[in-house]
Amino acid sequence: MERDQLGGQRDDPDRKQGEVAPSLGHAPSLCRPGEVQAAAIRVQAEPMAAISSVAVLGTGIMGAPMARNLRAAGLDVRAWNRTPEKAQALGDAGVEVAERPVDAVVGADGVVTMLADGAAVERVMTDDGALAAMDDEAVWIQTSTVGVSAQARLAEAAAERGTAFVDAPVLGTRQPAEAGELIVLAAGEERLRDRCRPVFDAIGSQTRWLGDVGSATRFKLVLNGWIVGLVETLAETLGLARALHIEPQAFLSAIEGGPLDCAYAQTKGAAMADESFEPPAFPLRLAAKDARLVLEAAREAGLTLPLMRATCSQFERSIEQGHGDEDMAAAYWASRQR
């Protein structure tokens, strides 16, 4: 496994496929008639096949393109969404659309959840019966950003059911999801890595394995804290620019290509400069949810984050102004002088 500067482990394409933790079994007896010999006990490592059929639960901005890319990669895909209209178009891509979560998961090698928050995942997997309906050998790949507490509850539910669980939030928005270029942050048992590889290769450009279940969710929160903080700082900067009669594009041009620049600032800054936030790459209401999850994790760790509290407040202010379904760059409206 190749380590990188972010502290994870990148998936190694040369790694031997199908390696799993051994299970104990009895070897055939080697005793000949009349010979007293203890029966040998040996480890039988039966490789588990890589995932070839997937149920995708949640087909919104992220889940729908993930389902399409999984099908395009040759996997059998069934999909479900609570609002059926959002899933119907997937039929044209060869995805079978299920009426209920349980219909989607039965017989699938892997179940991918990509829903709005932890409560939504819990409702679908436990209340709606999807977890109970999963095949015993299937893997639950939890890609939603749900926070530390919810992730622990989901992992516990999987353990109680005896279901293999991979904590795998993804980094990226609509465009990387459509291009199959998400960054998958994965954590779980090493024996599951090769089984999950076809799924992760189909939806992402790279996979970073980070250790035990829970570590991927924690890492995602660190990354999200940086992203939402950057967006809010940019929103306030461009709001100030307009208030001082400076064109926002002048600021973006001044930093372009220099040490103060970053691609995300140019992308979101261009939307703010044009005051154009449709269609959303990632809705502001979900970015606000992510900011709250960062605060929750910090609080549980005994840490105070004043900037993140201010970011949450400004995001909520823009949402109250009616911008929750616009791109997260619409956080700009809270700092716009009226």
pLDDT in tens, 216-229: 999 999 999 999 99
Average pLDDT, the chain: 89
**Can you tell me the mean pLDDT for 231-254?**
97
Helix, strand and coil percent figures for the chain, each rounded to 5: 50, 15, 35
Residue 19, domain member (yes or no): no
Looking at residue 128, what is its pLDDT?
97
Which one, of 171, 167, 122, lies nearest residue 140 by Cα? 167
Is 316 contained in some domain? yes
Range of the structural domain that residue 179 is part of: 47-212
Give yes or no for a contact between 50 and 18, defined as CB atoms under 8 angstroms apart. Answer: yes
Residue at a domain's end among 178, 195, 212: 212
According to the model, what pLDDT value does residue 11 have?
A: 55
Contacts 24+ apart (CB under 8 A), 3-10: 4/208, 6/208, 7/210, 8/185, 8/208, 8/209, 8/210, 8/219, 9/208, 9/209, 9/210, 10/206, 10/207, 10/208, 10/209
Residue 244 burial (CB count, 10 A): 8
Distance in angstroms (rounded) separating the CA atoms of residues 223 and 231 = 13
Same domain for 201 and 222, yes or no, is no
Cα 126 from Cα 115, distance rounded (Å): 14
DSSP 116: S
**Residue 127 identity:** D
Question: Taking 80 as the threshold, does the pLDDT of residue 33 lie above it?
Answer: no
The question of whether 220 is a catalytic residue gets the answer yes
pLDDT of residue 256: 97
Task: Tell me if 147 sits within 8 A of 155, measured CB to CB.
Answer: no
CA distance 332 to 268: 10
Angle subtended at Cα 254 by Cα 338 and Cα 181, rounded to the nearest 5 degrees = 90
Domain tally, the chain: 2
Catalytic residue among 16, 220, 268, 289: 220
Amino acid at 310: A
Query: Which amino acid is located at 224 in the chain?
Result: N
Q: Computed over its alpha carbons, how large is the radius of gyration of the chain?
A: 23
pLDDT of residue 43: 28
Residue 28 predicted with pLDDT over 60: no
What pLDDT score was predicted for residue 338? 66
Specify the pLDDT at position 337: 66
Q: 103 with 65, same domain?
A: yes
Q: What integer pLDDT is reported at residue 80 of this predicted model?
A: 98
Same domain, 183 and 280: no
Domain check: are 276 and 191 in the same one?
no
CATH number at residue 285: 1.10.1040.10
pTM over 0.75: yes
pLDDT of res. 47? 59
Q: What pLDDT digit, counting tens, does each position of 62-120 carry?
A: 999 999 999 999 999 999 999 999 899 999 999 999 999 999 999 999 999 999 999 99
pLDDT at 41 over 70: no
pLDDT band at 48 (very low <50, low <70, confident <90, very high): confident
Give, as one character, the DSSP assignment of residue 187.
B
CB 286 within 8 A of CB 207: no
Q: Indicate if the pLDDT at residue 26 is higher than 50.
A: no
Q: Is the pLDDT of residue 1 over 50?
A: no
How far apart CA 118 and CA 218 sit, in angstroms, is: 14
Residues whose CB falls within 8 Å of the CB of residue 203, separated by 6 or more in sequence, listed in order: 66, 69, 70, 170, 177, 180, 182, 184
Please report which confidence band the pLDDT of residue 149 belongs to, taking 50, 70 and 90 as the band edges. very high
Q: Are 111 and 85 in contact (CB under 8 A)?
A: no
Which CATH number covers residue 175?
Answer: 3.40.50.720
Predicted local distance difference test score (pLDDT) of residue 25: 35
Quick one: 195 and 222 in the same domain? no
